[in-house]
Amino acid sequence: MTTQMAAAKRGEITEAMRIVAQKENQSPEDICARVARGTVVIPANINHLTLSPEGVGQGLKTKINVNLGISKDCANINLELEKVQTAINMKAEAIMDLSNYGKTAEFRSRLINMSTAMIGTVPMYDAIGFLDKKLEDITVEEFLAVVEKHAQDGVDFMTIHAGLNRQTVAHFKKNKRVTNIVSRGGSLLFAWMELNDRENPFYEYFDDLLDICAKYDVTLSLGDGCRPGSLADATDPAQIEELIVLGELTLRAWEKNVQVMIEGPGHIPLNEIQANMLLEKKLCHNAPFYVLGPVVTDIAPGYDHITSAIGGAIAAASGADFLCYVTPAEHLRLPSLEDMKEGIIATKIAAHAADIAKGIPGAADWDLKMSKARQALDWSTMFELAIDREKAERYRRESSPTHEDSCTMCGEMCPMRLMNKIL
């Protein structure tokens, strides 16, 4: 089998490229050229037969990812599958299965078979439960076997923390942090390395990893094990050292025609976001950038969908291509269905706002239509255009105005109503 990148380098336009071009209102030739350069990825595992392909990267609409999955304390497969269907209905372009307990293979199989959205996983989360072994006893071969199992199942992109090598660890140890390593996958690998006094297996055996990805056309999402978990740790030596390593690994992946995304922070002050986006693009050769948030203040548990949407809008406007949603439950619990919905809406708003700022073709048309409907006091059209129609209609229903063409904020003093009459 060939990968999307291998086909693109030959100038061959695949069906996935045609679909992406149609969704983006761009030419298949332009999409093909960007895939060949690595500035756009189309995560599309050859075994994910229900997938509706999406492009992530340069000149394309900002995409969003929804995290879900089973944990030991919340192991309700049916609830997580309800979340999956809701995320698909809400048009999330990607879903990451972060399951780390129980029948992960069963859930992953059902997820992939029902999902038109691209699917991502972190095989490191699954390794301990899947192998039923202590972390320190897992072998390199077993780590790679778990990766191949996920690839065989049809996972489109995988987070692998290959940049957390011994050199990065040395920088981490020399430069003390407030929150140490907050990446779950990164902390597990750090522990394995320390307990076994060995190099990161995914770094040491990176070529073997690439062979698996190329076989199934899995996009490699190079994880940021040293992402900052607090504003105090943002843009520090460990984070930057890891980013340098990820840039080097990107070139190695491209040589084997494996598509690459780079994962980014994390918790970052507003004034450092633009610099972080620039660093990633420079150091990682303009590979698509996938960011968690970023969260712009540490003080708002219960409202981190807002803190991350603020950061996400700035990040995407400054060059990030893919936003991982954050819910109100971040730092507190596994998200409920309602938490997930709020996280999706907040992140979609951030992505759309950024697309307008980036000048993505057609992005501002949606807003213009809404503005025209507001001026015309065309409530049915406003609801059709609303990013969350259900909430908009509920708010309107809960507070009925005397004048049906206005709302209870202004009533007969509604400026739209007044100007329409006068003009």
Distances in Å between the alpha carbon of 236 and those of 175, 185, 241, 303, 357?
8, 19, 9, 26, 28
* Last residue of one domain, picked from the residues 311, 326, 358: 358
179 with 106, same domain: the answer is yes
Distances in Å between the alpha carbon of 346 and those of 148, 171, 179, 340?
34, 35, 26, 10
Q: Round to whole Å and give the CA distance between 80 and 29.
A: 38
Is 108 labeled as ligand-binding?
Answer: no
Domain membership of residue 408 as a residue range: 363-422
Let me know: does 270 contact 311? Beta carbons within 8 Å: yes
Is 407 labeled as ligand-binding?
Answer: yes
> What is the torsion angle, in degrees rounded to the nearest 10, for the CA atoms of residue 83, residue 85, residue 90 and residue 95?
70
284 with 198, same domain: the answer is yes
Query: What's the mean pLDDT in 130-136?
Result: 86
Q: Classify residue 42: in a domain, yes or no.
A: no
* Last residue of one domain, picked from the residues 306, 333, 358: 358
Tens of pLDDT, residues 221-269: 999 999 999 999 999 999 999 999 999 999 999 999 999 999 999 999 9
96 with 114, same domain: the answer is yes
Q: Classify residue 33: in a domain, yes or no.
A: no
202 with 234, same domain: the answer is yes
274 with 376, same domain: the answer is no
At residue 193 the predicted structure's pLDDT band, cuts being 50, 70 and 90, is very high
Instruction: Please determine, for residue 141, whether its predicted confidence score (pLDDT) is greater than 90.
Output: yes
Q: Classify residue 110: in a domain, yes or no.
A: yes
Is 225 labeled as ligand-binding?
Answer: yes
255 with 391, same domain: the answer is no
Is 263 labeled as ligand-binding?
Answer: yes
Give the three-state DSSP class for 271. helix
Is 226 labeled as ligand-binding?
Answer: yes
Q: Which of 353, 289, 244 is nearest to 40 (CA)?
A: 289
Q: Round to whole Å and give the CA distance between 206 and 254.
A: 13
Number of domains comprising the chain: 2
Q: Classify residue 350: in a domain, yes or no.
A: yes
Token pair listed for 202: 């995914």
Residue 1: what pLDDT?
61
Give the three-state DSSP class for 164. coil
Instruction: Please determine, for residue 78, whether its predicted confidence score (pLDDT) is greater than 90.
Output: no
Is 293 labeled as ligand-binding?
Answer: no
Tens of pLDDT, residues 39-76: 999 999 999 999 999 999 999 999 999 999 877 776 77
Is 125 labeled as ligand-binding?
Answer: yes
At residue 4 the predicted structure's pLDDT band, cuts being 50, 70 and 90, is very high
292 with 277, same domain: the answer is yes
393 with 345, same domain: the answer is no
Query: What's the mean pLDDT in 284-309?
Result: 98
Q: Classify residue 26: in a domain, yes or no.
A: no
* Last residue of one domain, picked from the residues 358, 384, 407: 358
180 with 268, same domain: the answer is yes
Is 184 labeled as ligand-binding?
Answer: yes
Query: What's the mean pLDDT in 306-323?
Result: 98
Length of the chain: 423
Is 284 labeled as ligand-binding?
Answer: no
211 with 194, same domain: the answer is yes
Q: Round to whole Å and give the CA distance between 32 and 413.
A: 54
Is 166 labeled as ligand-binding?
Answer: no
Q: Round to whole Å and give the CA distance between 45 and 57.
A: 18
The torsion angles phi and psi of 327, rounded to 5 degrees, stand at -105, 170
332 with 378, same domain: the answer is no
Q: Classify residue 275: in a domain, yes or no.
A: yes
Q: Which of 337, 420, 336, 414 is nearest to 376 (CA)?
A: 420
Q: Classify residue 20: in a domain, yes or no.
A: no
> What is the torsion angle, in degrees rounded to the nearest 10, for the CA atoms of residue 409, residue 412, residue 414 and residue 419?
180
Percentage of the chain with pLDDT > 70? 99
Is 414 labeled as ligand-binding?
Answer: yes
Q: In terms of C-beta density within 10 A (0-12 exposed, 13-18 middle, 19 or more buried), how is residue 299 classed?
A: exposed
Token pair listed for 243: 């980013």
Q: Classify residue 40: in a domain, yes or no.
A: no
- This prediction's pTM: 0.95
133 with 189, same domain: the answer is yes
Who has greater pLDDT, 400 or 36?
A: 36
Q: CATH number, domain at 124?
A: 3.20.20.540
Is 183 labeled as ligand-binding?
Answer: yes
Amino acid, single-letter form, for residue 235: T
Is 267 labeled as ligand-binding?
Answer: yes
